[in-house]
Structure 1
Amino acid sequence: MKTYLSMLWLAAAPPHDVAYPARAWATLLDLPDPSGKGARRVNDAISWLEENNFVTVAAQAGLPNRVTLLNELGTGKRYRVPGEVFNKARTKGADLASLAGDRYVQVPPTFWTSGWMATLSAAGTAMFLVLLAEQVGKRDDQELWFSPEVANLRYSLSHDTRSAGLQELRRAGLVTAKRRPVASDVFDVQRFRNVYILHMDALTTTAAVPDKDELARPRKVALRGKSKKLKGLSAP
């Protein structure tokens, strides 16, 4: 997923192809040992993408393989910039429902340039894309929510992946979570659900994901010229 997303970013212009050595992709994704194990992981990813009709790969004597994008749905059809396809069809009066396969979201360049693509796990990256898609047509500060059934049907992500990804995004400061009551009637059983606010402006900061232990560690603060540790005070 990370390799393909990065190729979509770098090969946005026709003819939608790239020819970089595997170690370059491994370095971009901050994989350990980019010239060795990292490069092999990238080559395995490209092989998977080719087998599943997301790219074509052409060997070049003495040069890195040339990888050409195909349709993001894995249909094997040629790649076309989704925005151009969607806008062109809409101007011709096409029914919006028929354009569902051409709808798209834009991932800001800062997702790469600030290091988020390399820093976030696959689960964190997946949930960032999910929330980004859910935010389309909504205010930047609007609370987002989807049921486990909808999440599974629409995105085919397991509960463990969703949970791990959302927790990571919260620790990174990209997402704020709040609990909201579901029932509006005082006589109903009180139930709650988690809602999320995606902070796109946080992408401009240098990527970092504090671990759970770091967040739970008490801070030292200065009181009247002395350094004291306040019990129960933890980093935000």
Structure 2
Amino acid sequence: MTTPQPTTNLPSTQAQAALGQPETIKLILDRSQRPTRTVPIRRALLQREVGKRGTKSPGAVAVLVRRSAKRPLDLYLLLSAVTSGGDFSVTEWSTTWARAVGIFDETAGTTAVSRAWKVLKELGLITRARGEGGKSAVTKLHEDGSGRSYTVPGEGLGDPYFQLPFEYWEKGWHNKLSLPGKAMLLIASSQRKLKFTLPQERMPEWYGISADSAGKGIRELIGHGILVRVDEEWFDTLKTRSGRGCRPVYSLWPPFTPRALGGQAIDEETTTELLRALP
């Protein structure tokens, strides 16, 4: 009588198949162990202070948008999610990062990830070194691109930051949004209030993003129901015959509604109530 062989020794299609993108991202987010399930991001990534007088200049995101560098931004946001302590570094295989951005060919994925890290390194946002077992050790630096070591934001005055919720990945927005859409989501989130304006004509000066790209991103966010027009604001201007102009006032809808830093997400019903209570 032949003794049956244990099934654990047999090839398994499930075991051989590479992990999918959603599952890979879930493991990365779980690894972060962030109790708030949000990623803190300094406003300096979008808008830096230059000089002692606090003059504003566009941050690294402007360069990424101009270069159409979608993967570097995707990888940077994921890196920010997982590097939550210690020296703010993570050691991982390139194939893991490649799956996280939707590339499953090992050779193509490794090359694409290496190029993306190179872009981020040139912008002064990361350092990269060889890790154990063929992995790469990537360390996050300060968001202003100065090359300074990263520190936890908000520890002192004048260090504004906002939060990107894990739902950004869990609801698939990292795949649904274009690069301008992602940039405008970050800019809108950095306002850190329920109602705000996003004047397209000021985006080149403030954030280094063209008015056309800003408009595309805003329309995309509105189309997805992430950004909602809730009011209008009149202002003085010499660009109209009357000297008065009107621009829309927006609000971010859950799960991107601003919350108390470190607090819980605000649901849609609560957001509606808060907006109605505002003047």
TM-score tier, shorter chain, comes to 0.5 to 0.7
Q: Look up the match of 2:255.
A: 201
Where in structure 1 do 4 or more consecutive aligned residues deviate above 6 Å? none
Equivalent residues, number: 182
- What SS does the aligned partner of 1:42 have? helix
Matched, 1:133 2:205: no
Displacement of 1:52: 2.4
Tell me if 1:152 matches 2:224. no
2 CA distance for matches of 1:118 and 1:19?
24
2:126–2:141 CA contact under 8 A, matched in 1? yes
**Is 1:22 matched with 2:114?**
no
Q: Distance in 2 between matches of 1:106 and 1:114?
A: 16
Change (3 A) 1:189 1:60: closer
Q: How far apart are the structure 2 equivalents of 1:15 and 1:163?
A: 38
Cα distance in 1, alignment partners of residues 235 and 132 from structure 2: 65
Task: Kindly indicate whether residue 99 of structure 2 is the aligned counterpart of residue 42 of structure 1.
Answer: no
1:11 is aligned to 2:62:
no
Number of the residue aligned with 2:35: none
Q: Which has the higher contact order (CA 8 A, sep 6+)?
A: 2
Give ranges in structure 1 of 5+ residues lacking alignment.
91-98, 205-236
SS of 1:182 mapped into structure 2: strand
Q: Does residue 81 in structure 1 map to residue 152 in structure 2?
A: yes
Q: Matches of 2:219 and 2:205 in 1, distance apart?
A: 21
Deviations 1:125-159, CA, capped at 9 Å, x for gaps:
1100111112x1x3x3x2x2133343222211111
TM-score, length of structure 1 as denominator length: 0.67
% identical equivalent positions: 27
Q: How does 1:215-234 map to 2 (within 5 A)?
A: none
Change (3 A) 1:190 1:79: closer
Residues 152/183 of structure 1: CA separation in 2 closer, same or farther (3 Å cut)? closer
Structure 1 residues 118 and 127 mapped into 2: Cα distance closer, same or farther (>3 Å)? Answer: same
Residues 159-207 of structure 1, C-alpha deviations (whole Å, 9 max, x = no match): 12111111211121111236736369xx947754233221023799xxx
Runs of 5+ unmatched residues, structure 2? 1-72, 258-264, 266-279
User: What is the DSSP-based 3-state SS (H/G/I as helix, E as strand, rest coil) of the residue aligned with 2:139?
Assistant: strand
Structure 2 match to 1:208: none
User: Partner amino acid for 1:152?
Assistant: P
Change (3 A) 1:79 1:131: same
Cα RMSD for the two superposed structures: 2.7
2:201–2:211 CA contact under 8 A, matched in 1: no
Q: Which residue of 1 aligns with 2:64?
A: none
* Residues 28 and 118 in structure 1, CA contact (< 8 A), matched pair in contact too: no
**Of 83, 103, 106, the match for 2:163:** 106
